[in-house]
Amino acid sequence: MTTTTPRPSRKREPDRNLAVELIRATEAAAMASARYLGRGDKNQVDAAAVDAMRPVLGTVAMRGVVVIGEGEKDEAPMLFNGEQVGDGTGPEVDIAVDPVDGTTLVAKALPDGLSVVALAERGKMFDPGPCFYMRKTVVPGSAAHVVDPEAPVGETIAAVAKALGRKPDDLTVAVLDRPRHSGLVESIRAVGARIKFLGDGDVAGAIMAASEDTIDTGVDLLFGTGGTPEGVIAAAALRCLGGSIFARLAPRNEQERKAAIDLGYDLDRILTTTDLCGGEDIFFAATGVTDGALLKGVRFGTNRISTTSLSMRARSGTIRFIQTFHDPVRSTLVPALD
C-alpha cells in the first residue's frame, strides 16, 4: 500500500489577474464621478464614485479588509475602514481605496483627479490611526540613497539633482497649494528649483515625482504636508515604480498628538516606503477622472465612453497603461443616468 504525505497548506498568494480586476473598479468609479465634473459639488462626486466602486470590488476573488477607506463606519455607508470586501475567496489582503483622489478637482473640472485602489498582503499596510496628516518627501528610486529626511529642503534638492546628474534649477518640485507651505515654497525657490502646485490630492503628485523615465510628467520631487491615507496609497504605487517616500506623522493639534502617543505611535520616526506598504504582493490601479500629467480623464462619446488607466504590480515591476472603450448600454461598469 502506497501512502502519500500531504503537502503543507500554503497561503494563497494574490493572482496577477487582480491587476485587471482592480482596474475595473477604478474605471467604474471614474466614469460615475465624471458625470458630475464641473458641477461644484465634491460630495456628489465622491458619493457617485463610492457607489460605483463598491459593487465591483465585491466581485473580486479576494478576502479584503479596507485599511484606508472613506472613514469610520458611522461616517461612511460604504468602503469604510475595517469593511470586508471581495467575494470571500482568494487571498487575504489589505485594501486602500480613494474612489476620487481630488474630489474638489473633479467638482471644479481641474486637472489630476484620479480614482485609485491599492492592494497588499494582509497586515502589510500602515494604519494611520488618529493622524490625518504627515510630512512627505518623495523622490525617484535612483536618488533615494542620497536623501537625509532630516536635512533642509534646499540640501535635499541639491543632493537629488547631483544624483540625477542635473542642476537644482533643472528640477521641478510638486507641492500642495496650501498656506501652510509658504515657507517650503520659499526654500524651494531659494535654490532655483521650479514648483508645480497641486490643487488637491497628492497621490498623483507622488507618482509623478517617482516616475523618473517611466512616465514623462515633468516632476522630479514632492515635498509637503498632506493626508496620511494618501501617503499609504502613494507608498503602494512607489513600491511598484521603484520610487521612495520618507514621511513623518504630523498631528494637527495636541488632542490628536496625545491620541497617537497613547496608541503607541512614534511621532519622531521617519516612515519609509516599506514601512507604509510592506510585502511583495502589491497591486496599484488608477483611472483618470480629469485630464492630468499622469492620465487622461474620462471621455463621453456618442457611442463609447473612454477611460485611461495605470496598472502596476510590485512583484514583477510591470507598469501598464490601459485605454478602454466602454459601451454605455452593454457595459456593467457604466453607471445608469439619473
- From the annotation, which residues make up the binding site for Mn(2+)? 46, 70, 98, 101, 230
Residue 185: HSE in the Cβ half-sphere, 13 Å Cα cutoff = 12
Q: Name the binding residues for substrate.
A: 101-103, 133, 178-180, 200-202, 227
Q: Cβ distance 309 to 295 under 8 Å? A: yes
- What is d(CA 223, CA 205) in angstroms, rounded to the nearest whole number? 10
Q: Name the binding residues.
A: 46, 70, 98, 101-103, 133, 178-180, 200-202, 227, 230
Residue 133: HSE in the Cβ half-sphere, 13 Å Cα cutoff = 12
Grid cell, residue 92, equals 487575504
Grid cell, residue 116, equals 485609485
Unique residue bearing C-alpha cell 512616465: 215
Q: How deeply is 48 buried, as exposed, middle or buried, from its count of CB atoms within 10 A (0-12, 13-18, 19+)?
A: buried
- What is d(CA 52, CA 29) in angstroms, rounded to the nearest whole number? 5
What separation in angstroms does the CA of 21 have from each of 53, 57, 61, 119, 323?
11, 8, 9, 11, 15
Q: Which of 106, 149, 130 has the alpha carbon at shortest distance from 229?
A: 130
Tell me, what amino acid is at 321? F
DSSP strand E in 205-296: where? Answer: 221-227, 244-249, 283-288
- What is d(CA 338, CA 330) in angstroms, rounded to the nearest whole number? 17
Q: What is the DSSP string of 88-149?
A: S-S-EEEEEEEEEETHHHHHTT-S--EEEEEEEETT-B---TT--EEEEEEE-GGGGGG--T
Q: What is the DSSP string of 46-105?
A: HHHHHHHHHHHHTTSSSEEEEEESSS-TTT-SSS-TT-EES-S-S-EEEEEEEEEETHHH
Tell me, what amino acid is at 302? T
